[in-house]
């Protein structure tokens, strides 16, 4: 039988699972580092959308990424098909949509089909939390958020509980959305949150900075960074020509990636400086899993600038899929169908 989990059911199953998701994602990266999991770079299939309408969207290239992973400890192989369709903005539809197919690694039976939207947001924020715990200074007190969408709220839920932040600083392109996020942070978690008029002000004052926008062109610049900061570059789509940090900012940091092969194929954050000759491949070979296992150090000095370049990988989807399948079974949630019937 195959378990089908809709977005609403996934949201219910993950509502009280912040720590469990973080632990699952951390474990997945450790397993990758020691060879217990497999994670190929995702191939991208591009189609030109001849029906795209609206300024900046007509004829926009759609990309379809097959994000595969396999884990021996989790006994699963998964593939998430991610559709990244810029022309959807003009249609009033989400730019990114995805679904995850999970099969039993022992029998090959189709174990589950899961909507990808909520799963992706939660596992992305969990990966940021794992990286921040490993790389940020222990005395970090101010969290900066650049971006105000659903990914920002997921990051607040993942980063703030149980951590010693005292202030949250926010910037977004739409001031009303930034104010709404600030109000939500204060009401949900009781922390003061302040909205700034520009990304520079947030960047210059944050101990931990998260960039959470679907930017193509960089809006965080090297001279704004301060010694000892930790930056999570999260929001840019997995396209080699999109990035949130400029080359000068990346060069100031010690870089940790979620997975080297994926970053080498999809991350504008490192590929653009690489093409410019400003960065070498050895500069972004350190993977998060190697830090978590102690193979390489995390932060090496209080004044070091660290950057977690989060492209997002299929193994994170697999880890959360395993958690969801188990929780759904325990709680009797989801729909089961016989695909072979």
Confidence of residue 197 (pLDDT cuts 50, 70, 90): very high
210, 220, 223: which is closest to 244 by C-alpha? 220
User: Average pLDDT over the chain, rounded to whole?
Assistant: 94
User: Could you tell me if 26 and 130 are in contact, meaning their C-beta atoms sit under 8 angstroms apart?
Assistant: yes
Confidence of residue 51 (pLDDT cuts 50, 70, 90): low
CA atoms of 332 and 215, how far apart (whole Å):
40
> What pLDDT score does 56 carry?
43
The tens digit of pLDDT for each residue in 66-93 reads: 999 999 999 999 999 999 898 898 899 9
The residues with which 287 forms a beta bridge, in sequence order, are 257
> What pLDDT score does 9 carry?
98
Percentage, residues of the chain above pLDDT 70: 96
**Tell me, which fold does domain 125-311 have in CATH?**
Rossmann fold (3.40.50)
Whether residue 211 is predicted with pLDDT greater than 50 in this model: the reply is yes
Give CA separation, 299 vs 36, 200, 294, in Å.
25, 24, 11
pTM: 0.94
- DSSP letters for 154-200: HHHHHHSTTS---EEEEE-SSHHHHHHHHHHHHHHH---EEE-SSHH
Ranges of each domain in the chain: 2-117+315-337, 125-311
For 184, the token pair is 């939500």
> What pLDDT score does 157 carry?
93
Confidence of residue 324 (pLDDT cuts 50, 70, 90): very high
Whether residue 58 is predicted with pLDDT greater than 60 in this model: the reply is no
Whether residue 341 is predicted with pLDDT greater than 90 in this model: the reply is no
CA atoms of 76 and 178, how far apart (whole Å):
39
Segment 262-282 shows an average pLDDT of 95
User: Could you tell me if 140 and 197 are in contact, meaning their C-beta atoms sit under 8 angstroms apart?
Assistant: no
Q: Residues 2-117+315-337: name the CATH superfamily.
A: ornithine cyclodeaminase, domain 1 (3.30.1780.10)
Segment 305-333 shows an average pLDDT of 98
Give CA separation, 297 vs 14, 51, 142, 292, 316, in Å.
31, 49, 24, 9, 22
Q: Lowest-pLDDT range, 44-53, 98-107, 225-234, 292-301? A: 44-53
Give CA separation, 211 vs 45, 96, 214, in Å.
26, 18, 9
The tens digit of pLDDT for each residue in 130-178 reads: 999 999 999 999 999 999 999 999 999 999 887 889 999 999 999 999 9
The tens digit of pLDDT for each residue in 230-258 reads: 999 999 988 899 999 999 999 999 999 99
Report strand pairing: 61-71 vs 44-48: antiparallel
CB-based burial, 150-164: b 16+ in 10 Å, e otherwise? ebbbbbbbbbbeeee
Segment 206-218 shows an average pLDDT of 96
User: Could you tell me if 121 and 312 are in contact, meaning their C-beta atoms sit under 8 angstroms apart?
Assistant: no
> What pLDDT score does 61 carry?
80
Q: What is the largest CA-CA distance in the chain?
A: 61
> What pLDDT score does 53 carry?
46
CA 207 to chain centre: 19
């Amino acid at each position: 039988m195959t378990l089908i989990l809709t977005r609403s059911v996934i949201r219910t199953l993950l509502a009280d699972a912040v720590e469990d998701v973080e632990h699952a994602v951390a474990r997945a990266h450790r397993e990758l580092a020691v060879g217990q999991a497999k994670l190929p770079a995702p191939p991208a299939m591009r189609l030109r959308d001849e029906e795209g309408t609206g300024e900046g969207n007509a004829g926009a290239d759609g990309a379809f990424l097959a994000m595969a992973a396999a884990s021996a400890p989790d006994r699963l192989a998964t593939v998430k098909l991610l559709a990244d369709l810029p022309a959807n903005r003009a249609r009033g539809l989400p730019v990114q949509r995805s679904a995850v197919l999970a099969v039993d690694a022992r029998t090959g039976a189709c174990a589950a089909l899961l909507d990808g939207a909520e799963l992706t947001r939660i596992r992305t924020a969990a990966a940021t939390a794992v990286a921040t715990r490993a790389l940020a200074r222990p005395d970090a007190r101010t969290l900066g958020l650049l971006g105000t969408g659903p990914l920002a709220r997921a990051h607040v839920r993942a980063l703030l509980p149980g951590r010693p932040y005292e202030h949250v600083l926010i910037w977004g392109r739409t001031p009303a959305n930034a104010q709404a996020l600030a109000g939500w942070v204060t009401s949900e978690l009781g922390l003061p949150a302040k909205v700034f008029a520009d990304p520079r002000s947030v960047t210059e004052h944050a101990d931990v900075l998260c960039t959470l926008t679907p930017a193509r062109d960089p809006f965080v610049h090297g001279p704004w960074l301060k010694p000892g900061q930790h930056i999570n570059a999260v929001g840019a789509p997995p396209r080699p020509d999109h990035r949130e940090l400029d080359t000068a900012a990346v060069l100031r940091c010690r870089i940790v990636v979620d997975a080297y092969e994926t970053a080498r194929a999809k991350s504008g954050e490192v590929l653009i400086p690489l093409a410019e000759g400003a960065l070498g491949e050895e500069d972004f070979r350190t993977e998060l899993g190697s830090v978590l296992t102690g193979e390489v150090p995390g932060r090496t000095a209080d004044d070091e600038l660290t950057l977690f370049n989060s492209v997002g990988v299929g193994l994170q989807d697999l880890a959360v899929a395993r958690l969801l399948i188990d929780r759904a079974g325990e709680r009797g949630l989801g729909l089961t169908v016989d695909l072979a019937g």
